Chains A and B, each alone.
Chain A
Amino acid sequence: MQEKALITVIGEDRVGIIAKVATLLAEANVNILDISQTITGGLFTMIMMVDITHCNLEFEALKKSLSDLGAQLNLKIEIQHENIFRAMHRI
């Protein structure tokens, strides 16, 4: 079964955010299924739906490398399993 997760990136806008996140995901063999992104009042917000079924990292390691990248770029990057959103927001 396909396992999906949601990545959220929030912070100040700058050049190359999507590229850097996408590169990290490609290296971890995580496929991006959907991206939506907005900038409101200079605040960059991006949500990605990704497929982690064939990810070559443990979930914990993936989470850590995303949050490390976030620290480098001065952004908050979170990854959470899709189920929690499905449980909370879909009946």
Chain B
Amino acid sequence: MFNFGEILETLKMIQEENLDIRTITLGVSLLDCVDSSIAKTCENIKQKIREKGQYLVETAKKLEIKYGIPIVNARVAVTPVSLLAGGFTETETVKIGYALEEIAQEIGVNFIGGFSALVHKGFTKGDINVLNTIPRVLAETERVCASINVATTRAGINMDGINFSARIIKETAERTRDKDGLGCAKIVVFANAPEDNPFMAGAFHGVGEADYVVNVGVSGPGVVKRVVEKIPGADLEELANEIKKTAFKITRVGELIGKEAAKMLGVKFGIVDLSLAPTPAMGDSVAEIIEAMGLEYCGAPGTTAALMMLTDAVKKGGAMASSMVGGLSGAFIPVSEDMGMVRAVEVGALNIEKLEAMTAVCSVGLDMIAIPGETPVSTIAGIIADEISIGVINGKTTAVRIIPVPGKKAGEYVEFGGLLGRTVIMDVNRFSSEKFVMRGGRIPAPIQSLRN
């Protein structure tokens, strides 16, 4: 029998502190779906996803009831479409995007990730097809997400890929101008993209994975914040320990639900992603954890240290709780999705440069940042290159999800709605990166790539 304290703690975590399973993502390999005809290929894709995917939402619902814990999203990630698109034209590649949208609607998932290209070392015809069609697909579908891997520690940084991505971002913003560039919320540019990441918009199903796999992303900024607030006098060592214990509990719940979901769907369980992912809901904020640690605003000096401690403690607790840890695993610091971050930007405590520094110690990167619509492509490329370099030199994943909001200037507001939240548009450095980024080519892999 469990004691009162334990049971009440669990109930409280769920009911008052927003502990939830952020996402159950079904990964599906589409490698066996390619046919010489595009119509047949699209049909195969839909059939392959439907086979297990049709039970996904229902499974999530059942588990939600059984354990009384909210499962916020059920999603699908597929093999990067660039691996399927090589034999088709661009017009045909767009149809794969439509097919993904159709099946996502049919099975009731809110996002399907994998309209992706991996170009860290160079471009194939399939990559070019996908890259050229991303703006159109993102503008014409609601649920399809795209990602581009432009660098790895082993391959270096493909600057042409970054320039290409910056142009795509700008064009996607233009094509979704009536929705404040919302399409850009569905593109992530990665360095060292993980193949088992359950979090959108960057989720795709890596080639090393099985036909079907279930990955789970847990989240609990509210729970961690409560723990931090509960011991105001604690020193940092004790604080780190308490966060670690909490991360353990959160991760165990994720593993339980992930394993059970996999069993119910008859597929392999992949990984738990140990991330603190915020939502626009009050109290569900990573910035607020940092502030609860004693910083006036997220972004104040000391923020990077606080975030480093937080990320590390979450990983330590999580790694003990589950042997199957993967994905991004860290603390997400998307601006528009985190009320505390938005507030910190509003008061001037947080800017892009500080966010970039913070990403040196946590996962993901510059996430859900709205910038002025008139920002030049070369500046966007420069921002991406900086962020990607942090990932490459540190052998970890970083990414950029940035939205140049058409027609809006720094200081204005933009509303993306739902989980994507609202934010104030951030200022960007006005000095030019043009000549540097337009050199193109590849920044060679750092010396750490020669590891054996």
Residue numbers of A with Cβ under 8 A of B are 6, 8, 34, 36, 38, 45, 47, 49, 59-60, 63, 78-81, 83-85, 87-89
Please determine whether B256 and A84 come into contact, CB atoms closer than 8 angstroms. Answer: yes
Partner of A88, one of B4, B8, B249, B260: B249
Please determine whether B1 and A81 come into contact, CB atoms closer than 8 angstroms. Answer: no
Please determine whether A85 and B69 come into contact, CB atoms closer than 8 angstroms. Answer: no
List, in ascending order, chain B residues with CB within 8 A of A88's CB.
6, 10, 249, 252-253
B67 within 8 A of A: yes
A-B CB contact pairs (8 Å), 16 listed: A34-B1, A38-B4, A47-B1, A47-B4, A49-B1, A63-B65, A79-B68, A80-B68, A81-B66, A85-B2, A87-B252, A87-B255, A88-B249, A88-B253, A89-B10, A89-B249
- Interface positions of B from 1 to 41, Cβ below 8 Å from A: 1-2, 4, 6-8, 10-11
CB nearest neighbor in B for A49 = B1
Partner of A8, one of B1, B7, B249: B7
Partner of B10, one of A38, A60, A84: A84
Q: How many A-B residue pairs have CB under 8 A?
A: 56
Please determine whether A78 and B68 come into contact, CB atoms closer than 8 angstroms. Answer: yes
- In Å, the complex CA distance between A66 and B277 comes to 32
- In Å, the complex CA distance between A20 and B7 comes to 22
Partner of A84, one of B8, B65, B253: B253
List, in ascending order, chain A residues with CB within 8 A of B6's CB.
85, 88-89
Please determine whether A85 and B7 come into contact, CB atoms closer than 8 angstroms. Answer: yes
CB nearest neighbor in B for A45 = B4
Please determine whether B65 and A47 come into contact, CB atoms closer than 8 angstroms. Answer: no
A12 to chain B, nearest CB (A): 17
Task: Classify the interface of chain A: helix, strand, loop or mixed.
Answer: strand
A9 to chain B, nearest CB (A): 11
A89 to chain B, nearest CB (A): 5
- In Å, the complex CA distance between A49 and B1 comes to 7
Q: Mark B231-265, 1 if CB is under 8 A from A, else 0.
A: 00000000000000000010011011000100000
A13 to chain B, nearest CB (A): 16
Please determine whether A6 and B7 come into contact, CB atoms closer than 8 angstroms. Answer: yes
Asked, given contacts A85-B6, A88-B253, whether A8 binds B65 with beta carbons under 8 Å apart, the answer is no
Please determine whether B4 and A81 come into contact, CB atoms closer than 8 angstroms. Answer: no
Among the interface residues B253, B255, B260, which one has the most CB atoms of the partner chain A within 10 A? Answer: B253
Asked, given contacts A80-B67, A80-B68, whether A85 binds B4 with beta carbons under 8 Å apart, the answer is no
In addition to A78-B68, A87-B253, 6 A-B residue pairs with Cβ atoms within 8 Å of each other are: A8-B7, A34-B1, A47-B1, A63-B65, A63-B68, A85-B10
List, in ascending order, chain B residues with CB within 8 A of A80's CB.
10, 66-68
List, in ascending order, chain A residues with CB within 8 A of B260's CB.
83
CB nearest neighbor in B for A58 = B65
CB nearest neighbor in A for B249 = A88
- In Å, the complex CA distance between A89 and B260 comes to 18
Please determine whether B1 and A36 come into contact, CB atoms closer than 8 angstroms. Answer: yes
- In Å, the complex CA distance between A59 and B398 comes to 42
List, in ascending order, chain B residues with CB within 8 A of A38's CB.
4
B417 to chain A, nearest CB (A): 30
CB nearest neighbor in B for A79 = B68
- In Å, the complex CA distance between A33 and B233 comes to 41
- In Å, the complex CA distance between A36 and B11 comes to 17
- In Å, the complex CA distance between A78 and B7 comes to 11
B159 to chain A, nearest CB (A): 46
- In Å, the complex CA distance between A8 and B252 comes to 21
List, in ascending order, chain A residues with CB within 8 A of B7's CB.
6, 8, 47, 85
- In Å, the complex CA distance between A45 and B4 comes to 9
- In Å, the complex CA distance between A84 and B6 comes to 11
List, in ascending order, chain B residues with CB within 8 A of A87's CB.
252-253, 255-256
Please determine whether B256 and A83 come into contact, CB atoms closer than 8 angstroms. Answer: yes
List, in ascending order, chain A residues with CB within 8 A of B10's CB.
80, 84-85, 88-89
List, in ascending order, chain B residues with CB within 8 A of A63's CB.
65, 68
Q: Mark B305-324, 1 if CB is under 8 A from A, else 0.
A: 00000000000000000000
Among the interface residues A80, A81, A88, A89, which one has the most CB atoms of the partner chain B within 10 A? Answer: A88
Partner of B67, one of A8, A34, A36, A84: A84
List, in ascending order, chain B residues with CB within 8 A of A81's CB.
66-67
CB nearest neighbor in B for A37 = B4
List, in ascending order, chain B residues with CB within 8 A of A34's CB.
1
Among the interface residues A47, A59, A87, which one has the most CB atoms of the partner chain B within 10 A? Answer: A87
